[in-house]
């Protein structure tokens, strides 16, 4: 792989990221795509194919893609997988979804990629309770068990057609949560209604 691409240390790259190395980065990116080094995932975005997967039919998980793409636009510490995507990270949703949810610092329309839809939610990422995660494209943040449980209960209908998936995931995560951490979130982020909701869901099950 070109040392210039490796030096960027990003799982998703944009041609403008390589402007310091190439006078025509878009043309160069197309070359690296033909060489099996980059994979175009959306207009202006390319995934850096892991070296072990070169020459295969590798395709990125949508959660890994969402995290790496968010980092490309906003920085490593300014984004976090949340809601359904964090539930996937925590093992509460076993099947792959065609959509990923990522917290970012600014409002932004959803992005359709070749490998799934990425939904951006404006959040103060620094205020979220987070854990470190490693994906095939990026290392970064995902919301904690407790944050994810309450986020799902607060907005189960965030993704159209997946409200039951969100509800079931919230109920699945709840027994694994720390009561102390849940109560702290209720105080800090005014999520009392979400906590009541998930408890009602479990009682009605």
Distance CA 173, CA 185 (A): 15
Q: pLDDT band at residue 4, thresholds of 50, 70 and 90? A: low
pLDDT computed for residue 203 by the predictor: 96
pLDDT computed for residue 18 by the predictor: 83
Percent of the chain with pLDDT over 90: 85
User: pLDDT digit string (tens) for 137-161?
Assistant: 999 999 999 999 999 999 999 999 9
Query: Using H for helix, E for strand and C for coil, what is the string for 74-97?
Result: HCCCCCEECHHHHHHHCCCCCCCC
User: pLDDT digit string (tens) for 18-57?
Assistant: 887 788 888 889 999 999 999 999 999 999 998 889 899 9
3 pLDDT above the threshold of 70: no
Residue predicted with more confidence, 10 or 174: 174
Nearest to 154 by CA among 141, 140, 169, 142: 169
Q: pLDDT band at residue 85, thresholds of 50, 70 and 90? A: very high
Average pLDDT over residues 95-101: 96
Average pLDDT, the chain: 94
Neighbours of 98 (CB within 10 A): 10
Q: 2-10, long-range: CB within 8 Å, 24+ apart, which pairs?
A: 2/32, 2/37, 5/32, 5/37, 5/38, 5/48, 10/48, 10/68, 10/71, 10/72, 10/138
- 73 half-sphere exposure, CB direction, 13 A CA radius: 19
* E strands, the chain, in order: 12-13, 38-42, 45-48, 80-81, 99-104, 111-113, 116-122, 130-134, 139-143
pLDDT computed for residue 6 by the predictor: 65
Contact criterion met (CB below 8 Å) for 4 and 21: yes
- Which tokens belong to 45? 């975005």
Nearest to 74 by CA among 118, 115, 29: 118
- Which tokens belong to 96? 């792959």
- Which tokens belong to 186? 């209720």
């Amino acid at each position: 792989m070109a040392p210039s691409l490796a030096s960027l240390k990003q799982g998703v790259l944009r041609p403008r990221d390589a402007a310091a190395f190439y006078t025509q980065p878009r043309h160069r990116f197309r070359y690296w795509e033909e060489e099996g080094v980059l994979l175009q995932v959306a207009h202006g975005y390319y995934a850096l194919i892991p070296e072990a997967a070169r020459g295969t039919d590798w395709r990125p998980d949508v959660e890994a893609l969402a995290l790496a793409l968010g980092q490309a636009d906003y920085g490593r510490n300014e984004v976090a997988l949340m809601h359904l995507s964090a539930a996937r990270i925590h093992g509460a949703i076993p099947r792959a979804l065609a959509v990923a949810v990522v917290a970012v610092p600014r409002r932004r329309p959803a992005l359709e990629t070749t490998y799934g839809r990425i939904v951006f939610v404006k959040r103060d990422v620094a205020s979220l309770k987070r854990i470190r995660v490693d994906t095939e494209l990026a290392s970064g943040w995902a919301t904690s068990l407790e944050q994810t449980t309450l986020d799902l209960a607060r907005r189960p209908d965030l993704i159209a057609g997946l409200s039951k998936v969100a509800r079931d995931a919230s109920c699945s995560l709840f027994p694994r949560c720390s009561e102390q951490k849940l109560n702290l979130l209720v105080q800090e982020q005014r999520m009392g209604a979400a906590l009541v909701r998930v408890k009602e869901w479990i009682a009605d099950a």
